[in-house]
Amino acid sequence: MTQPQFPIRFTERAIARIKQILAKQGKSDAYLRVGVRSGGCSGFEHVMLPTDALRPGDLVAEFDGVRVVIDPKSAQILEGTTIDYTGQLLGGGFQFDIPKAKRKCGCGTSFSV
């Protein structure tokens, strides 16, 4: 079900961790919504959260059993993004490599385009 035109990609580590988190929350059948919202010290923050609801215009793809949705505005901003996961003690967690980001904040949670 993965579509070649889907704007974001995930590493195997990221998908494995997402599966663990969704299973722990009892939401293995939920969609994972990836997007951006206004906020942070640089303008935008990236978000990932489980959802049961699709919105009109959402793009949907499946990555190794994880169903991912993204709204059209977020898709434009995150186009070409790769999401990775690192379990490192410092700076660990989900890492968004956003090619369109012109500036990132020091903590890595917000960016500007």
pLDDT of the chain along its 113 residues, tens only? Answer: 444 489 999 999 999 999 999 999 999 899 999 998 876 666 778 899 999 999 999 999 999 999 999 999 999 999 999 999 987 766 668 888 888 876 665 555 656 67
Residue 18 to residue 40: CA distance in whole angstroms: 23
Sorted by where each starts, the structural domains of the chain and their CATH numbers stand as 8-101 (2.60.300.12)
Which pTM value belongs to this model? 0.83
- Which of 78, 112, 113 is closest to 97 using CA atoms? 78
DSSP strand pairing (31-39 vs 66-70): parallel
